Structure 1
Amino acid sequence: MKDKSLCYNCPDRLLKLQEVHENDNESTHEADELMMHEVVYLNEDTVMPRKLETHTEGDNMWYLDNGASNHMSGNIEYFSLLDEKVTGKVRFGDDSRIDIKGKCSIVFINNEGKKKILANVYYIPELRSNIISLRQAIKSGCDVRMKDNYLTLFDRDGNLLVKAIRSRNRLYKVTMEVDKTNLKCLQLSTDGVSTTWHARHEHVGLETMRTMIIREIVTGIPNMTVDKETCASCLMGKQMR
């Protein structure tokens, strides 16, 4: 009688091999999902970045381009929650190739003080101009009209968003104010030393902290001045009670 473990055609052995292969495929599929990134390759044949005026610091100049397939900007100050998983390259009509480093929405403020969102804007650090894609605007429901030397852009409700005059180089550009009130990713806030130790000790009271320092009850706590600062977590907890 042959040893069952040496039988290559044994049904039990084949079943085990099949189970192993299936498990390997599932693991590989899960790993691919975890490592998935949005890779974008743009080919802007009719867009010539060198013909666009480079924006200076604090300049909110945007070009309305019918050749660009997507909105894009090289100013990191315009982005708040940048999705850095979006990567890729963009190739322009002058055969220049530059990298895409993320995607985000940008909030603008119109002349009436209302906020408007420009969604899916690619962040391209080497791009020295800001471009609004008219094709992408049309896909989102906007209405683009060109008459005489003017270009007008209306939203899906018929509200005027942009009115630009054609420049000497036959391009349409407009100044748009970016709402920077929510750009928290570029703001740095630091807490005091006493606030840090207050949080480390599970939001203990300030008087208790002073007693702990004076009597040296806790080992390792520095000899510091306990500042009277407002703790948002403590306020929220007391508000709930």
Structure 2
Amino acid sequence: MAKLNGNAGEEFTVLLAHHDISSQQDVWYLDSGESNHMCGKKEFFAELKDGPYGSVSLGDSSKLPVEGKGKIKIIQKDGRKEYISDTYYIPGMKSNILSIGQLLQKGYIIHMEDMFLTLRNARRKLIARVQMSKNRMFPLKLNTKIGSCNISVMEDESWKWHLRFGHLHFNGLKLLSSGGMVRGLPQIEATRQVCEGCVLGKQARLSFPVGDTWRAKAPLQMVHTDICGPLDPMSYGGNRYFITFIDDFSRKT
């Protein structure tokens, strides 16, 4: 049992469990007793804002400071990216914690049945299905995208100005700085780190194939269908989904 002491003196109940695989830093524990996500590995954060944000009081009366708050990028098996936002950075914390209450507040859907916990995002996409362990915990091993490079980006003044000027190259920033053309712009130092946004922005998709595509020769020979939803807010009749059927020959819907 522990307490999270905020800046305003508010206390939140925190349960910190010690278990047989607590040394695995990429394992997260889903817990309904936590008020916030917590992580002890700084390199897991894609973005991190320095604190302080209070401290965590452990059962042995010792305290661990909450030194930052940010978001962690995870990569799912199908390659999709998700972010664990508003996560506290607590150096020295051995167990990474996912707050079930915080996930519900963010719109995630959690279902527990037959010794399994199922986690879906707000679009009802399956994120994880976790089996309960022998000590009645729900350990979830995440493919955490190490974000140490991004942390240095956020802390480096040169990188901050690179982002503020819409990813302007560093030679251009140095020219603005040395010429005194921007009030408040500090001396800019070039860096060898690669900006992920710049790399993606310079990439191009393959062009559409040249030539006619196949078209239907008679009605109902080919029908295009699509489903849309869930819609928020729902319709007047209480519906959240609709489906369309388009005949390729007549283009009638």
Task: Report the TM-score when normalising by structure 1.
Answer: 0.56
Greater fraction helix: 1
Q: 1:31-64: per-residue Cα shift (whole Å, max 9, x none)?
A: xxxxxxx8376755461333473234xx411111
**Which SS does the other structure have where 1:87 is aligned?**
coil
Q: CA deviation at 1:129?
A: 1.1
Q: 2:112 aligns with which of 146, 162, 166?
A: 146
Aligned partners of 1:80, 1:41: CA distance in 2, in Å?
Answer: 29
Are residues 88 and 107 of structure 1, via their aligned partners in 2, closer, same or farther at CA, if it must alter by over 3 Å?
Answer: same
The aligned counterpart of 2:22 is 54
* Largest Rg, 1 or 2: 1
Q: CA deviation at 1:73?
A: 0.3
Aligned partners of 1:137, 1:129: CA distance in 2, in Å?
Answer: 18
**Which SS does the other structure have where 2:84 is aligned?**
strand
Task: Name the amino acid aligned to 1:101.
Answer: E
Q: Does the aligned pair in 2 maintain the 1:41–1:89 contact within 8 Å? A: no
Aligned partners of 1:164, 1:55: CA distance in 2, in Å?
Answer: 19
Asked if 1:126 is matched to 2:92, the reply is yes
**Which SS does the other structure have where 2:48 is aligned?**
coil
* Greater RCO, 1 or 2 (C-alpha within 8 Å, sep 6+): 1
**Which SS does the other structure have where 1:125 is aligned?**
coil
Q: Does the aligned pair in 1 maintain the 2:120–2:128 contact within 8 Å? A: yes
Aligned partners of 1:40, 1:78: CA distance in 2, in Å?
Answer: 28
**Which SS does the other structure have where 1:136 is aligned?**
helix
Asked if 1:91 is matched to 2:22, the reply is no
Task: Report the TM-score when normalising by structure 2.
Answer: 0.53
Asked if 1:113 is matched to 2:79, the reply is yes
User: What percentage of residue pairs aligned between the two structures are identical?
Assistant: 28
**Which SS does the other structure have where 1:39 is aligned?**
coil
Aligned partners of 2:128, 2:8: CA distance in 1, in Å?
Answer: 28
**Which SS does the other structure have where 1:128 is aligned?**
coil
Asked if 1:71 is matched to 2:37, the reply is yes
Aligned partners of 1:48, 1:139: CA distance in 2, in Å?
Answer: 21
Are residues 131 and 40 of structure 1, via their aligned partners in 2, closer, same or farther at CA, if it must alter by over 3 Å?
Answer: farther
The aligned counterpart of 1:169 is 135
How many residue pairs get matched? Answer: 157
Q: 2:67 aligns with which of 88, 101, 107?
A: 101
Q: CA deviation at 1:93?
A: 5.2
Structure 2 unaligned spans of 5+: 1-5, 154-170, 177-191, 196-253
The aligned counterpart of 2:217 is none
Are residues 97 and 40 of structure 1, via their aligned partners in 2, closer, same or farther at CA, if it must alter by over 3 Å?
Answer: farther
Structure 1 unaligned spans of 5+: 1-37, 188-197, 204-228, 233-241
Aligned partners of 1:117, 1:131: CA distance in 2, in Å?
Answer: 14
Asked if 1:159 is matched to 2:125, the reply is yes
Alignment RMSD, CA only?
3.2
Are residues 202 and 157 of structure 1, via their aligned partners in 2, closer, same or farther at CA, if it must alter by over 3 Å?
Answer: closer
Aligned partners of 1:66, 1:94: CA distance in 2, in Å?
Answer: 22
